[in-house]
């Protein structure tokens, strides 16, 4: 039997444009005409495969991207959305009603954390945040009301790794849906193959890869995707976070080079992580043997795409972190910016940016320190040159001492 390879699955798809174009035609329409009123009625009822009604529901361009992303994740279907949050929030609202309960990893993207902590309680949905790496703690948090287990494959920003297969077993035992945000690890990890029910991405990051748009996707069974788009009760259809056709066509084109980019992001991040660790910097990267979940991650990744492009270093204080990021930007080593998956390295201090929604005491409890810098390592051609230039910046600011450099 052929092994599951997410990049091959994307490559094997073949869509031609209306006039034999090598790219599919873009459906630049919000609404669609019908030859008969009966067909329109049937389409409203959800009974007309291949007919389009209105682009908030679906459009040909969005369906091409849906199919490609479902093929990538190995799910029956998918639904693209206007942003990652536009995928996460309808998915969770579709799965939970007032009185229901969610068990979530505590180290997740700040926006998702804020949604679960501050917003969903207004709708009567409560969340217990747990250390997702401890399966016994996860299971102990489940109540009779729990409907969903939520985590990120590799967490933002602490790069903790979820044991998806272990969590899937717990979900099955308690009849819960396991929802996994795979934004940090496209191609490297295939959560649905490990037992996740629903896989989400912020397309804004690696999958689009050019930092020119926001976007998201929910990959799941046909039944769940149909429920999200149901005209009477679907959270995506009714809340309306629809991706525009022009955008889905451009994301689709970028998706085709994802495998090449992921290999280079992973190669460069591994190179820098190894060098920084050897220099004595506190470095967190799942590809390092020192990472607490290195073995687990090694056992679940599709190795050819590597351990990903995200790493953190801890330089001790926020002042030092800020000074280093400003200096690296001045030397054109990357940009002081949130987000990830760009060709250029991006860096930010999560405690004061992407995770600032998390209260300070909780940041401390989960190990999110002041001096932490999160790097999304870029596609640099000569990563040794980048390393030497970064090292110079660190020397200048006493983040690295000359002693550690002499050990080379």
Interface with ligand PLP (CB under 6 A), residue from 5, 202, 208, 369: 202
Q: How far is the CB of 225 from ligand PLP (least distance, A)?
A: 19
Interface with ligand PLP (CB under 6 A), residue from 73, 163, 181, 244: 181
| Range in contact with ligand PLP (rule: CB under 6 A) among 2-10, 24-32, 83-91, 297-305 | 83-91
Q: How far is the CB of 182 from ligand PLP (least distance, A)?
A: 9
Q: How far is the CB of 150 from ligand PLP (least distance, A)?
A: 11
Spatial separation of the C-alpha atoms in residues 320 and 257, rounded to whole Å? 36
Site for ligand PLP in 108-137 (CB under 6 A): 109, 111-112
Task: Using the minimum distance from each CB to ligand PLP, give the nearer residue, 102 or 383.
Answer: 102
Q: How far is the CB of 325 from ligand PLP (least distance, A)?
A: 18
| Range in contact with ligand PLP (rule: CB under 6 A) among 82-90, 94-102, 223-231, 249-257 | 82-90
Q: Does 152 bind ligand PLP (CB under 6 A)?
A: yes
Site for ligand PLP in 206-225 (CB under 6 A): 214, 216
Interface with ligand PLP (CB under 6 A), residue from 6, 60, 84, 371: 84
Interface with ligand PLP (CB under 6 A), residue from 43, 153, 156, 283: 156
Q: How far is the CB of 181 from ligand PLP (least distance, A)?
A: 5
Q: Does 183 bind ligand PLP (CB under 6 A)?
A: yes
Q: How far is the CB of 33 from ligand PLP (least distance, A)?
A: 33
Residue 43, both tokens = 């389409």
Residue 390, both tokens = 């970064």
Binding positions for ligand PLP, rule: CB under 6 A: 83-85, 109, 111-112, 152, 156, 181, 183-184, 202, 204, 214, 216, 354
């Amino acid at each position: 039997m052929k092994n599951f390879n997410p990049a091959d699955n994307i490559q094997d798809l073949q869509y031609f444009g209306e006039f034999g174009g090598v790219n599919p035609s873009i459906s630049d329409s919000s609404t669609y005409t019908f030859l008969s009123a009966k067909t329109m009625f049937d389409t409203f009822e959800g009974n007309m495969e291949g007919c389009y009604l209105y682009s908030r529901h679906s459009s040909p361009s969005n369906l091409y991207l849906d199919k490609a992303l479902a093929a990538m994740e190995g799910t029956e279907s998918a639904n693209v959305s206007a942003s990652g949050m536009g995928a996460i929030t309808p998915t969770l609202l579709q799965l939970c009603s007032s009185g229901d309960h969610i068990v979530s990893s505590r180290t997740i993207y700040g926006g998702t954390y804020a949604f679960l902590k501050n917003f969903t309680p207004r709708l009567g949905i409560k969340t217990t945040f747990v250390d997702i790496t401890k399966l016994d703690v996860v299971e102990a948090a489940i109540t009779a009301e729990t409907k969903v287990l939520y985590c990120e494959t590799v967490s933002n920003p602490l790069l903790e790794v979820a044991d998806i297969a272990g969590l899937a077993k717990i979900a099955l035992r308690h009849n819960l849906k396991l929802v996994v945000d795979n934004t940090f690890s496209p191609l490297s990890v295939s959560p649905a193959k490990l037992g996740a029910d629903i896989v989400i991405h912020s397309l804004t990051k690696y999958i689009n890869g050019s930092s020119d748009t926001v976007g998201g996707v929910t990959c799941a069974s046909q039944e769940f995707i149909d429920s999200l788009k149901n005209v009477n009760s679907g959270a995506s259809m009714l809340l309306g976070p629809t991706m525009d056709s022009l955008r889905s066509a451009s994301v689709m084109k970028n998706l085709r080079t994802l495998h090449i980019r992921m290999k280079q992001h992973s190669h460069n991040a591994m190179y820098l992580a190894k060098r920084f660790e050897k220099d004595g910097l506190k470095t967190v990267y799942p590809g390092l043997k020192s990472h607490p979940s290195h073995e687990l991650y090694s056992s679940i990744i599709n190795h050819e795409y590597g351990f990903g492009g995200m790493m953190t270093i801890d330089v001790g204080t926020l002042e030092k972190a800020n000074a280093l990021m400003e200096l690296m930007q001045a030397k054109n080593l990357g940009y002081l910016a949130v987000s990830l998956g760009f060709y250029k390295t991006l860096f930010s201090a999560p405690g004061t940016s992407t995770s600032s929604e998390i209260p300070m005491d909780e940041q401390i409890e989960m190990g999110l320190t002041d001096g932490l810098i999160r790097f999304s390592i870029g596609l640099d051609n000569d990563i040794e040159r980048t390393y030497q230039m970064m090292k110079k910046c660190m020397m200048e600011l006493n983040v690295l001492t000359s002693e550690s450099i002499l050990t080379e």
